[in-house]
A and B are shown apart, each in its own frame.
Chain A
């Protein structure tokens, strides 16, 4: 069963009188409980694809179905309410509100939904326990580390129990060890709750935590690598595929 089904997605931008085609007829499916990564050389259209899929940007053409609802046909107002209930988002630069505490940041989606206090408390305790941030609950955002911030961002994306979580370079601001911790966290949540993940990353290590990696090249989905053997083999396959597409060492590590 597909959680995300995107068909024939195209997107172009006009710059200085010139039309640049960023995405060309992209088809993409994510199954329920699946963890998928999108990789590709710089400028291949990874972030644009994610923006289009999450409604941050509108596609020129194509259809996006999330959880059985044709997301691309919703009005802005409907998209907002849909996003609130069915989608979670994680950003490279965390995008947490510094004026709020860790707990308040995580609870924001529930507060926007006007959920009762006992539901808020119950969900927060559950998620904080899994993410290991119970003791940080009352701390300010400026008082915690980068890895902890990303855990808070993951907690915020998970709190409304969405169908799918989109991550834009979720480990981009973190060192290798912290990135590993954060990805293990995400994998754990994915396996426990069955929430699907679609992550855009340039890091083969991060992508190796996923079940499947899709490779974008010049706005097209060029290749797909599935995790069939060990993590090391999977990483090797990712690395080879990306090198074959013209991605350099900088795109991998």
Chain B
């Protein structure tokens, strides 16, 4: 019999420990790799393809997955090595040298780590591929595609290697420095009560039973649980915040699409382009079943910086009451200040037109009068009619007419709008790229784009929240698994004292309840303030808090259901003699 035979046998018997450590490494790394691949994808992060307000949301979970990796791997390494302390204590007492033990541990860790990294990179790739497949094929987002990003894999491999190496050196080093006596007694270690557990026990109605559970199971491992509670709470807080963002952003997108498109279709006749008869356009629309209720033809002049609009036409067509004299102008900013974006409202005080004629500002107004269109300049000035005429005479080349259409039912106007679009392109005889500048804008297209963006955002958030919740579950589950050996002794003692199966399941339910619920409660409460401020920029601050509460309630119900099943399984595991009898999961299954 050789040392290799013994190691193999010990590995087989303690397979569940290795498997758990391997799965912890694998899942944390796959999670990070997935977000690394998504956030380094050039098409996804390209603002011209995916709205940056959506794609930038990936940075927070990406950062959190890095924190998760950086925290979770060391604690799982610590738990893995701690579970083997007694084994190594015996080996040391029999004459195994610390060098030999370190070599053994290093060998095991290298094998597990390399295997976990290799599979995690693939699992991360598959996850990111699924993500991109859904947004390309199910949500129909154009321009985004899955890409092989070597930098994402490099980043994952480097971060993983550094974290694993540091965690191993620290934990294995500590084990090597431990005295033999300490290692031999590792299996009987117990710690003092945890504050959260004690607090929950105090407020629980069924005091005695909770106290028993807290006393038997929860008061141990205070340090390990403290760290996990903090990270799990952060994960929950981020998940709740993202839920709040979803609740707010989706309706905000749709609202913005409508508020920035007060007219159902807009195109400009400018620079000699889009010179078509309005009758022809009306005819096309009518042919497609679109009833036009109103057409406004608004003359305007534009230069490199400003749109100039005549005050009389504005007051007449848009129901305004601006009083602007000759030599004056009004700064008009066509923004919805509650659209969630930051707006650069910097009015100008004077402008010079027709060479040397200076106009003075009489004030500023923020109001959306008509739709945005590529042919309009960024800033709009409303000027007196006489100044407008003089300006027209000077720079006739930049004078244009904005054609604004109001339909009876804009939701059914898509086909008509598309045909008008084609008609304009044909009349301009430009290719697609050149035509982009002169393209018409319509409410129906904007609305459909916003809807798609919203669905895309919802999927993105559901994807991120799903992975975050999985990470949180894994964080807690792995620790419960690590405590199994110790808990099996407690369960065994309780059985000897006459506790029946039903009572045991209840007892384990309470124990697991005390493990899962505190991070959920703390995380949800933590998220309230940031969630409120995040959503307040859309004028929906309370929605963020409400979303958090709903999320918390749903999660609590979900956790209750999961805990029940989880505890039944745990009880069966102890009942079948798992661990108590020294039989590993591997042996029972195979």
Contacts and interface: CB of A to CB of B under 8 A. Distances in A.
Interface string B1-12: 111011001101
A20 interface: no
B95 A111 contact: no
A109 interface: yes
A77 B98 contact: yes
Interface in B146-198: 179-181, 184
Nearest to B180: A56
B118 interface: no
Contacts of A104: 1, 6, 9
Interface stretch (A84-92, A174-182, A207-215): A84-92
A150 interface: no
A111 B6 contact: yes
A112 B93 contact: no
A80 B95 contact: yes
Given A100-B9, A117-B1, A142-B582, A95 B97 contact: no
B581 interface: yes
B10 to A, nearest CB: 5
Interface string B98-128: 1110000000000000000000000000000
Contacts, number: 91
Interface in A18-45: none
A56 B95 contact: no
B97 A81 contact: yes
Interface in A50-67: 51, 54-57
Interface string A86-130: 010101000111111000100111011110010010000000000
B interface, size bucket? 20 to 34
B2 A83 contact: no
Contacts of B9: 99-100, 104
Given A76-B98, A77-B99, A80-B98, A99 B93 contact: no
Given A57-B181, A112-B91, A99 B581 contact: no
Contacts of B96: 80, 84, 112
A141 interface: yes
B502 to A, nearest CB: 27
A84 B94 contact: yes
A109 B96 CA distance: 9
A140 interface: yes
Given A80-B96, A84-B94, 13 more contacts: A54-B93, A77-B98, A84-B96, A91-B93, A96-B90, A99-B10, A99-B14, A107-B1, A108-B91, A109-B95, A111-B1, A112-B94, A114-B3
A156 interface: yes
Contact of A99 (B5, B94, B582): B582
Contacts of A83: 93-95
23 contacts: A57-B179, A80-B100, A83-B93, A83-B95, A84-B95, A85-B95, A87-B95, A91-B93, A95-B89, A96-B90, A97-B10, A97-B87, A97-B90, A99-B12, A99-B582, A99-B584, A100-B10, A111-B1, A111-B2, A112-B3, A112-B95, A113-B95, A142-B580
A69 to B, nearest CB: 14
A80 B582 contact: no
B93 A108 contact: no
B13 interface: yes
A160 B96 CA distance: 13
Nearest to B10: A99
